[in-house]
Amino acid sequence: MTEHDITLTVNGAEHDLTVEARTLLVHALRDELGYTGTNVGCESSLCGACTVRMDGEAVKSCTTLAVQADGAEIRTVEDLGTRHDFHPIQEGFQEEHGLQCGYCTPGMMMTALDILEENPDPTREEIREGLEGNLCRCTGYQNIVNAVQNAAEQMQPAAVADGGETDDDGPTPATDGGEKQ
């Protein structure tokens, strides 16, 4: 067994910690540093509940070793907003009822942030493609897509007209041709 000294900057705060080689980023965040907003879901890089942003990109923290994140800037759901001052994405999820049990929500929001930073005015199809790696077993996704659209409108007040083009090779929908169920 090897132990490693690493540095993680989480939501702007720098943390030095010692981890086993096998420690996963999600456990370093939750168990070592107390950022419990990030959830552990399927443990097999499918469900996206553990999504955080690492150096500006959405990643699944259950499939990343803490040592691989050494030196990285991590952003978790705790950094989005406070209960009295919601981030537009949180606002969108509240307005559109984008959650029921809420377990997938931290991951959904961090992926939504990724989508909206890359594409401030996504089509519904682009939102669905962007959220392909996040599973929700409650909502049926409709309200989540609505929530991300709502957030996009808030974040981009001078909204552009619809009409983004998508690549029909796509990231492939979860079901053959139909919308994600």
- The site string for another protein over 110-149 (x = CB under 8 A, - otherwise) reads -x--xx--------------xxxxx---------------
CB of 141 to another protein, least distance (A): 14
Number of other residues whose CB lies within 10 A of the CB of residue 8: 24
Q: Which of 30, 60, 75, 128 binds another protein (CB under 8 A)?
A: 60
The whole-angstrom separation of Cα 111 and Cα 126 is: 12
| Strand-pair category, 51-54 with 73-75 | antiparallel
**Cα 109 from chain centre:** 5
Asked if residue 81 binds another protein (CB under 8 A), the reply is no
The whole-angstrom separation of Cα 64 and Cα 174 is: 24
- The site string for another protein over 3-32 (x = CB under 8 A, - otherwise) reads -x---------------xxx-x--------
- Tokens 């540093």: give the residue: 33
CB of 39 to another protein, least distance (A): 14
